[in-house]
Amino acid sequence: MSKIISLEKAAELIPDNASVAWSTIGMSFFAEAVAKSVEQRFLETGHPQNLTLIHDCGCGDGKGKGMSHLAYEGLVKRLISGHTGQAPKMANMISEDEIEAYLLPQGVLTTMWRQIAGNKPGVITKIGMGTYVDPLVSGGKVTSLAKEDLVKRISIEEEEWLLYKTFPLDVVVIRATTADEDGNLSVEEEAMLAEILPMAQAVKNRGGIVIAQVKFIAERHSIHPKEVKVPGVLVDYITVAPEEDHMQTIGTTYNPGLAGNSRVPLNAIPPMPFSDRKVIARRAAMELESNVMVNLGIGMPDGVASVAAEEQVTRHFTLTTELGTYGGIPASGPDFGAAWNADAIIEHEAQFDFYDGGGLDIAFLGLAQADQLGNLNVSKFGPKVVGPGGFINISQSAKKVVFCGTLENGAKLSFENGQAKVIQEGKVKKFVQSVDHITFSGAVAQANNKPVLFITERCVLELREEGMVLTEIAPGLDLERDVLSAMAFTPIIAEDLKTMPEEIFQESWGGLEKYIIG
């Protein structure tokens, strides 16, 4: 009997009250056509109802795609996710306290599928201790309707650990490029490998079903066995999507350079315009060293890759992404998660095994809100909840962390002749007395003697044993007027307060290599 079914039939396979997991990395690996069919079925019939939706990465385009298709009262009862900021309709349901919502570390969820497949109790790790996902804080619960404890503290050999418990699983909706007639799946046009194999294994061992969205159908036995990423015996149904509902990334339908099927000249990647963002990326890149393993977060930190490419220094270190890419230049903006000219692409869950074990030498991450204790928040701002993504895993396990962002939101600065000048102050201070949500624990970092830097366009701060220390100031700025007045707390001022290098505040630079080699 053929496994190939229509999109309408695929939507009908999801019953009321089911626990449904979706592969996703923004729009990469997300079965957009299936989600649209589920939405259409619900609007026409009122079914399926009361679903538990699970996905470990952000899922959407920041507008109406992805999980936004399923954000309806009555359709969704519970969300377990690593990030929901790319699906504003779902995020609004959380802000309005309309569903049970748990936002857990991306790396925990992507390694959870193996635990479910292996009939194990869950993921046992120290990732999340001291943050909002610690049960001593909120256990990852982000709405009042979330009552069940999905995270608990346990003791092993007189040492404290977190146990992220497994959960029921009825349907898994995954995506691939090609399926043969037996359901064997290959991913030749995808930008990553994702976690589709352990997801399929997990639901099959729970007695559930696997629905796979693909672009192409191939003849039986025509896919090389080493190219099969999910064996057909694990796939129950296949449905074919139109190209527009099978995006390679949020911003790209298909580019062979992002799939590892071709290489692009690095000079084809346009340099970042000179701005405060470039200044921050340059100063952050000065923390790079030879032969280190590097991770770059989304937003401001991905500028480090652009600067490294422009300065022609990428041969000195290895840039990686949490989605599994090694080498090359991580893509930015709507293509985030993919990489140009990657040397290797491994599975999502395998990358987090390496990260969680301390494999990263340095991580560059976003700076949304920081406080006087060195805590950082990227997951919740007032009623707006987005979740941590891979931030908790990466920031807690990397040997060194560099947080990158402007000192204030909305400020305007000018840079001339190597000097900075504040033209207009921002409306929102990012360095506050106490963060809204603890996504990174300063106390845990201090206890582990982790080097932690906060790099802005106006100054550099370092978390030391004695607290938050201001170590550098931008040339041309007044300490009191331009820096301290823009913060809600007064940091310790280093006795040897330095001036940030004037050359990074100029249009052209060309001086990064000497810092890396030095």
Per the CB < 8 A criterion, the answer to whether 91 and 70 are in contact is no
Query: 451: cis peptide before it, omega within 30°?
Result: no
Per the CB < 8 A criterion, the answer to whether 6 and 40 are in contact is no
Task: Give helix 196-205 / helix 106-117 axis angle, nearest 10°.
Answer: 40
Q: What is the 8-class DSSP label of residue 266?
A: G
- The dihedrals phi and psi of 205, each to the nearest 5 degrees, come to -75, -10
How far is CA 422 from each of CA 39, 273, 305, 349, 413, rounded to the nearest angstrom?
48, 19, 27, 44, 4
Helices (H), 217-370: 276-285, 303-310, 348-356
- The amino acid at residue 200 is A
Token couple for 271: 């340099």
Residue keyed to tokens 């937003």: 299
Given 190, 310, 322, 462, the catalytic residue? 322
Closest CA to 23 of 2, 54, 48: 54
* Stretch (H or E) spanning 172: strand 171-175
Per the CB < 8 A criterion, the answer to whether 174 and 141 are in contact is no
Per the CB < 8 A criterion, the answer to whether 383 and 284 are in contact is no
CA-to-CA distance for 366 and 403, rounded, in angstroms?
5
CA-to-CA distance for 290 and 316, rounded, in angstroms?
5
What pTM, to 2 d.p., does this model score? Answer: 0.95
CA-to-CA distance for 111 and 115, rounded, in angstroms?
7
Order the strands of the 459-464 sheet from edge to edge: 344-345, 325-326, 318-320, 293-296, 362-366, 401-404, 452-455, 459-464, 467-473, 492-499
Token couple for 326: 């090694």
Q: Count of residues for the chain?
A: 518
- The dihedrals phi and psi of 95, each to the nearest 5 degrees, come to -60, -35
Per the CB < 8 A criterion, the answer to whether 359 and 376 are in contact is no
Biggest CA pair distance of the chain: 76
Residue keyed to tokens 């249009």: 507
* Stretch (H or E) spanning 45: helix 32-45
Closest CA to 294 of 322, 320, 330: 320
Token couple for 469: 């220390």
Q: Mean pLDDT in each 10-residue stretch from start to end of the chain (518 residues)? A: 92 98 96 98 98 97 97 98 96 97 98 98 98 97 97 97 98 98 97 97 98 97 98 98 97 95 79 94 97 91 90 93 93 90 96 97 96 96 90 97 96 95 95 96 96 98 98 98 97 98 96 92
Radius of gyration of the chain (CA): 23
Residue 242 CB coordination number (10 Å): 10
What does the pLDDT read at residue 228?
98
How far is CA 440 from each of CA 129, 366, 369, 380, 408, rounded to the nearest angstrom?
9, 11, 10, 12, 19
CA-to-CA distance for 430 and 435, rounded, in angstroms?
9
Domains of the chain and any CATH numbers:
7-243 (3.40.1080.10), 267-506 (3.40.1080.10)
Q: What are the strands, taking DSSP E only, across 287-416?
A: 293-296, 318-320, 325-326, 329-330, 339-340, 344-345, 362-366, 369-371, 376-377, 380-381, 384-385, 401-404, 408-409, 412-416
What does the pLDDT read at residue 264?
84
User: Is 425 considered catalytic here?
Assistant: no
CA-to-CA distance for 51 and 485, rounded, in angstroms?
48
